[in-house]
Amino acid sequence: MLTQVEHAVNGTITAQMQAVADTENIDAEYICAMVAAGKIVIPNNINSKPVAVGIGKGLRTKVNASIGTSSDIVDYAAEVRKAKIAEEAGADTLMELSVGGNLDRVRREVLAAVNLPVGNVPLYQAFCDAARKHGRPEKLDPEELFDLIEKQCDDGLAFMAIHCGINRYTIERLRKQHYRYGGLVSKGGTTMVAWMEHNQRENPLYEHFDRVVNILKKYDVCLSLGNGLRAGAIHDSHDRAQMQELIINCELAQIGREMGCQMLVEGPGHMPLDEVEANIIIQKRMSDEAPYYMLGPISTDATPGFDHISAAIGAAQSARYGADLICYITPAEHLALPNEEDVRAGVHAARVATYIGDMNKYPDKGRQRDKLISKARRDLDWEEQFKLALLPEEARAIRASRTPEDEKTCTMCGEFCAANGSGKLFHADLAGDKE
């Protein structure tokens, strides 16, 4: 069976490509050409057939939500609820990142609960299983890892974050720079580094990259090249270890694409705003515009409890300069396992951020909604404002909770409403439109 890439190279517009074209209001021929070039991916799986979501060049920036158990909190029903909340709140994709309890069970229950493309990090379960079976994660047998990747694909996952870009050379770069303010923050990446050091062996995911690709191709699953050495502090941003892994991941993206597999490249998690544009330019240039998946990025390390806000600021910048998929951050980041309200808040913040980024990335088409809602606000047309709002139910609920005396106004200004006053004073001048 052919993958989306192979169909596109042959000039065949698949049902998934047509669905993306319809959703984005773009010609299907464009989607097909960009999938063939590796500049758009549509996370998919022949076993589960999730809703078609296009990620990449010329498309709306998408939002990913992450859920999953921890070693401290295992509640399968809660993870299913969080998955459904993420979908209801408007997430485009979902990552199931459990490390506690029965990992097969939680993955399968989440897959059954949503229509979104669901991804994961197979190293999480691989090292958890190795610790349970052998007593230490460093005793993982690479054959068990490859078998697990195939099992998870067979379950219906649409994309996988796999840490293929960590190799002996990237570890040497990390060792020679002698420091890291944030240390290593990727669970999968850190444990793979520990496995390599303990066994004095190359990363099997890098050494046998073709095997990884062929497993995912079998199911038409998208390979997201994980950023295991990403910076966990803005003072580590763009250090030599992170950049070396990015170079390797961009090389692997090209190899995987030529093999007929859909490829994403993962980006940083912590980065100051003045480095965002340069980071995206570098990734796009080195990967020939492979879709870029930014993990936030959190733009300051000083906001625990409000990291969803600092990440939204970074995400807006990232979307503006060409990132294609943003992983949300919740208020619980760095503090606790996210609960259901954290998930909702994280998705909403990321959606606001990507909308702001897109209205600047695509100014010709991205600002029309703002023009229309401004006119509705001027005219005190509340129903039209709610219709055009990015999060209409939340906006409606706030207004309903504080009902004004004059239903045309709101309780912010009441009888001193500027819009109401200007309408009376200059109605003839302001009621018309330039277009």
Is the pLDDT at 427 greater than 60? The verdict is no
Mean pLDDT of 362-385: 92
> Which residue, 300, 282, 173, is CA-closest to 229?
173
169 pLDDT band, cuts 50/70/90, is very high
> Which residue, 66, 133, 128, 67, is CA-closest to 101?
128
Give the pLDDT confidence score for residue 416 in this predicted structure: 83
Percent residues over pLDDT 90 in the chain: 91
Is the pLDDT at 342 greater than 60? The verdict is yes
Segments making up each domain of the chain, as ranges: 4-364, 384-430
Mean pLDDT of 306-335: 98
CA distance 265 to 242: 13
> How does DSSP classify residue 51?
P
Q: 4-364 is classed in which CATH architecture? A: Alpha-Beta Barrel (3.20)
Mind listing the pLDDT tens digit for each residue in 216-268? Answer: 999 999 999 999 999 999 999 999 999 999 999 999 999 999 999 999 999 99
- Beta 118-120 vs 159-162: how paired, if at all? parallel
Give the pLDDT confidence score for residue 3 in this predicted structure: 97
Q: What is the mean pLDDT of the chain?
A: 95
Secondary-structure percent of the chain, ordered helix, strand, coil, rounded to 5: 55, 10, 35
Is the pLDDT at 420 greater than 90? The verdict is no
404 pLDDT band, cuts 50/70/90, is confident
Give the pLDDT confidence score for residue 178 in this predicted structure: 85
Give the pLDDT confidence score for residue 392 in this predicted structure: 96
Mind listing the pLDDT tens digit for each residue in 177-221? Answer: 888 999 999 999 999 999 999 999 999 999 999 999 999 999 999
> Which residue, 413, 392, 395, 396, is CA-closest to 404?
413
CA distance 53 to 24: 10
CB-CB contact of 240 with 282 (8 Å): no
Mind listing the pLDDT tens digit for each residue in 52-80? Answer: 999 999 999 999 999 999 999 999 999 99
Highest-confidence segment of 328-332, 365-369, 377-381: 328-332
CB-CB contact of 69 with 75 (8 Å): yes
Which helix H or strand E contains 293, and what residues bound it?
Answer: strand 292-294
> Which of 283-287, 378-382, 384-388, 413-417 has the least mean pLDDT?
413-417
Q: Which residues of 240-260 are buried (b: 16+ CB within 10 A; e: fewer)?
A: ebbbbbbbbbbebbeebbebb
Cα-only R_g, the chain? 23
Give the pLDDT confidence score for residue 413 in this predicted structure: 86
